[in-house]
Amino acid sequence: MASSRAPCWVALLLFVALVATANGSELSAGYYEKTCPNVQHVVRSVMASRVAAQPRMAPAVLRLFFHDCFINGCDASVLLDATPSSPGEKDAEPNASLTGYTVIHDIKSALEHDCPATVSCADVIALASRDAVALLGGPTWSVPLGRKDSRFAADPESTKKGLPSPKDDLGELVTMFAELNLDARDMTALSGAHTVGMASCDTYRDRVYGPNGDIDPFFAQTTRQTCQGTSGKAPFDVQTPMRFDNAYYRNLIARRGLLTSDQTLYGGGGLQDNLVEMYSADGEAFARDFAKAMVKMGNIPPPKGMPVEVRLRCSMANY
């Protein structure tokens, strides 16, 4: 009788061990030093393999991290599938084009083999986004670890309101970033993530087709052609679309920002223009500030009282 009941107790103890409440505990680069010392090697190895096979997965994973942290903190809620009782953040309009989920799944599966029920999905995204930047030729940095995964996702409407829009102006962006304790310098550096990857035509159609004096005419003309192409997408940076460099800022000065929310960072004068000009001229300064801002953004915790855990599968809460 006792032996037949043991699995239930084991499951209960595991559940209790994994579930907690968000309390803003301190993160540490050495969080898994004893419990999963190989975590960084596993993440880096899977990322290198997947990006070698599909280079577009690097900017895709980086974008996942941004979309996760902006909604209820860096808690991997963006990875949760919808359930009959809870729609997922994946269902929100701005997240419809997100990819890279399978990369995170592969990393988590490898870690569950090596260190079962130990490494959170939120930490996987944080590490994978750092390695994505490095694989694209950008900087690397020490990632504070110890995040937990939320058990619930935000609803699609709240998710849409909480993410920057490609049509946002500078004031709207400053306000949105400030609500996350990210200042104008953080915002300008983090926006440099748009030095890699692509955007779909619906996000820049108004900018390249409409009457707009804040766009290079030749850039507008050539970019319109992408809306008529088979992919319906354009790279943020035509010259080096898969190299993490400071070309993004040179494009802004040349009035070749792809999105309205890109170009709005330059042209208004003052400190904001000074930042863009500095990053355009000094790639090392951009790399340093980007790394610092990524750590700062990655430290955004879930709301106090949010039930959190270490998910066994990133797409669903435990039990």
d(CA 150, CA 310): 8
Q: Is 216 among the annotated ligand-binding positions? A: no
Does 41 count as an annotated binding residue?
no
Rounded-to-integer distance, Cα 315 and Cα 13, Å: 22
For residue 202, say whether it is annotated as part of any ligand binding site.
no
Backbone angles phi, psi at 261, to 5 degrees: -70, -15
260 belongs to an annotated ligand binding site: no
* C-alpha separations of 45 from 42, 138, 194, 220 in Å: 5, 17, 25, 40
**105 is known as an active-site residue:** no
Q: Please tell me whether 245 is known to bind a ligand.
A: yes
Contact 118, 279 (CB under 8 A): no
Give burial (CB, 10 Å; 0-12/13-18/19+) of 263: buried
Surface-to-core class of residue 89, CB atoms within 10 Å of its CB (0-12 exposed, 13-18 middle, 19+ buried):
buried
Strand positions, DSSP E, the chain: 20-21, 149-150, 198-200, 233-235, 307-309
240 is in an annotated binding site: yes
Q: How far apart are CA 85 and CA 62, in angstroms?
A: 29
> Would the annotation count 89 as a binding residue?
yes
Q: Identify the sign of the CA torsion 308, 311, 314, 316.
A: negative
Sign of CA dihedral 128, 131, 136, 139: positive
| DSSP assignments along 7-69, one per residue | HHHHHHHHHHHH-EE---PPPBTTTTTTT-TTHHHHHHHHHHHHHHH-TTHHHHHHHHHHHHH
Q: Provide the 3-class DSSP secondary structure of residue 318.
A: coil
Token duo for residue 128? 């994978």
Whole-angstrom Cα distance, residue 135 to residue 129? 10
Annotated binding residues for Ca(2+), written as ranges, equal: 68, 73, 75, 77, 89, 195, 237, 240, 245
Annotated binding residues for substrate, written as ranges, equal: 164
Annotated binding residues for heme b, written as ranges, equal: 194
Just list the catalytic residues.
67
Annotated binding residues, written as ranges, equal: 68, 73, 75, 77, 89, 164, 194-195, 237, 240, 245
